[in-house]
């Protein structure tokens, strides 16, 4: 019973917020995804990074450990995804980013936050930032077939991370006005992203069920296995181990769909993967949480 209450406290906010988004789309209320994405990426996310690292005093060692663990995960995801897609003769530009980049923002951040508080959020943000950088460089390059660094330079999150690293290295205590402002604006990120996720899910359709299910299962099981293995291999302590596992095992990120659409790489198929992997993930989340709690 105790565990059920604890699980509900973590999973319910994610379900309900995404559900609000779904309902929003179903009743046909206005939802301008561009404005929300723009607010989240240009204002909210950088502020959330600044606010969290101003409050949680993460050590340089912990930051480095999480960065290495995250980079290893993404590198192994890329290797496995490339091999499987090659072996099954599927399009690499279309499917590889979706297999590589999990939903570490909209779903990973609230789950880690409600499961482990601000400490968990700080570590989850490190993994998330690596994923964002990866999505906008490697992911976009794979989908586009060429390297474009333009996206990256325009991402304010990059500058926020640079500033956060300086805060950590200099052990600076930020003034209250700074913490208040960034906390307020950072508060947009999780609810807005989850509602936007729900709205997108309402619009997505599954084109080829079998392939989408197969690739979704690959994303989730690979994520889980690699996340677990990295925790073991690096002998991570309990909290970073849990965060690596949770973030790695998230479903296909919605940003993959946006790039697939932009570069016309089978967007309908990618949409199916997003929808199916997210649905499976909603059911698996309680079990995943039982493992790490």
Partner 1 sequence: MLADIAAVIAPIFICAGIGFAWGRANAPFNTEMVTNLALNLGVPCLIFSTLTKLEVPPEAFATVAGAYVAVVAANFAIGFVALRLAGLEWNAFLPPLVFANNGNMGLPLCLFAFGDQGLAFAISVFVISSVGTFTIGLSTFAGSFAPKVLLKNPLLYVVALALVFMIGAFKPPAWLANTTAIVGGLGIPMMLISLGVAMSRIKVASLKRSLALSLLRLGMGLALGIVIAWAFGLTGVARGVIILQAAMPTAVNNYLFAQRYDRRPGEVAGMVVISTAISFATLPILLWFVLQG
- In whole angstroms, the minimum distance from the beta carbon of 241 to partner 1 comes to 23
> Which range binds partner 1 by CB under 8 A, 3-11, 85-93, 118-126, 265-273?
3-11
Q: Which of 1, 27, 29, 162 binds partner 1 (CB under 8 A)?
A: 29
**Which DSSP symbol is given to 265?**
S
- In whole angstroms, the minimum distance from the beta carbon of 181 to partner 1 comes to 4
Specify whether the CB–CB gap between 102 and 250 falls below 8 A.
yes
Specify whether the CB–CB gap between 182 and 245 falls below 8 A.
no
Positions 191 through 230 that interact with partner 1 (CB under 8 A): 191-192, 195
- Comparison of 70 and 186: residue with beta carbon closer to partner 1: 186
> Which range binds partner 1 by CB under 8 A, 96-104, 181-189, 225-233, 258-266?
181-189
Q: Which of 187, 234, 282, 286 binds partner 1 (CB under 8 A)?
A: 187
- In whole angstroms, the minimum distance from the beta carbon of 95 to partner 1 comes to 31
Q: Which of 175, 203, 217, 290 binds partner 1 (CB under 8 A)?
A: 175
- Comparison of 147 and 290: residue with beta carbon closer to partner 1: 290
Q: Which of 84, 152, 156, 181 binds partner 1 (CB under 8 A)?
A: 181
- In whole angstroms, the minimum distance from the beta carbon of 223 to partner 1 comes to 24
CB neighbourhood size of 29 (10 A): 9
Specify whether the CB–CB gap between 106 and 194 falls below 8 A.
yes
Placement of tokens 């889980």 in the chain: 224
- In whole angstroms, the minimum distance from the beta carbon of 155 to partner 1 comes to 16
CB neighbourhood size of 141 (10 A): 17
**Residues 4-23 as x/- pattern, contact with partner 1 by CB under 8 A:** -xx-xxxxxx--xx--x---
Q: Which of 82, 163, 178, 228 binds partner 1 (CB under 8 A)?
A: 178
**Which DSSP symbol is given to 104?**
I
- Comparison of 187 and 207: residue with beta carbon closer to partner 1: 187
Reduce the DSSP state of residue 29 to 3 states and report it. Answer: coil
**Residues 236-265 as x/- pattern, contact with partner 1 by CB under 8 A:** ------------------------------
Q: Which of 184, 262, 290, 293 binds partner 1 (CB under 8 A)?
A: 184
Q: What distance in Å separates the CA atoms of residue 16 and residue 25, rounded to the nearest whole number? A: 14
- In whole angstroms, the minimum distance from the beta carbon of 231 to partner 1 comes to 26
Residues that bind partner 1 (CB under 8 A): 5-6, 8-13, 16-17, 20, 29-32, 34-36, 38-39, 43, 110, 114, 175-178, 180-181, 184-185, 187-188, 190-192, 195
């Amino acid at each position: 019973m105790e565990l059920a209450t604890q699980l509900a406290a973590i999973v319910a906010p994610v379900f309900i917020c995404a559900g609000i988004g779904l309902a929003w789309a179903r009743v046909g209320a206005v939802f301008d995804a561009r404005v929300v994405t723009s607010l989240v990426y240009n204002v909210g996310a950088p502020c959330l990074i600044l606010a969290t690292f101003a409050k949680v005093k993460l050590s340089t060692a912990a930051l480095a450990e999480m960065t290495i663990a995250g980079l290893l995960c993404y590198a192994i995801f890329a290797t496995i995804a490339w091999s499987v897609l090659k072996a099954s003769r599927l399009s690499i530009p279309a499917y590889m980013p979706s297999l590589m980049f999990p939903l570490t923002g909209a779903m990973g951040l609230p789950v880690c936050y409600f499961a482990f508080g601000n400490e968990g959020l700080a570590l989850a943000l490190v993994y998330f930032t690596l994923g964002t950088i990866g999505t906008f460089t490697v992911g976009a390059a794979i989908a586009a077939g060429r390297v474009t660094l333009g996206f990256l330079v325009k991402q304010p999150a990059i500058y926020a991370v640079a500033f956060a690293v300086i805060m950590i290295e200099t052990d600076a205590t930020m003034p209250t006005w700074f913490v208040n402002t960034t906390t307020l604006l950072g508060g947009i990120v999780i609810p807005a992203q989850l509602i936007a996720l729900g709205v997108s899910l309402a619009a997505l359709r599954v084109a080829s069920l079998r392939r989408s299910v197969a690739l979704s299962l690959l994303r989730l099981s690979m994520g889980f296995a690699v996340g677990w293995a990295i925790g073991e291999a690096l002998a991570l302590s309990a909290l970073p181990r849990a965060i690596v596992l949770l973030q790695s095992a998230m479903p296909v990120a919605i940003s993959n769909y946006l790039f697939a659409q932009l570069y016309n790489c089978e967007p309908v198929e990618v949409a199916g993967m997003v929808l199916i992997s997210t649905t499976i993930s909603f059911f698996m989340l309680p079990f995943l949480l039982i493992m790490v709690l």
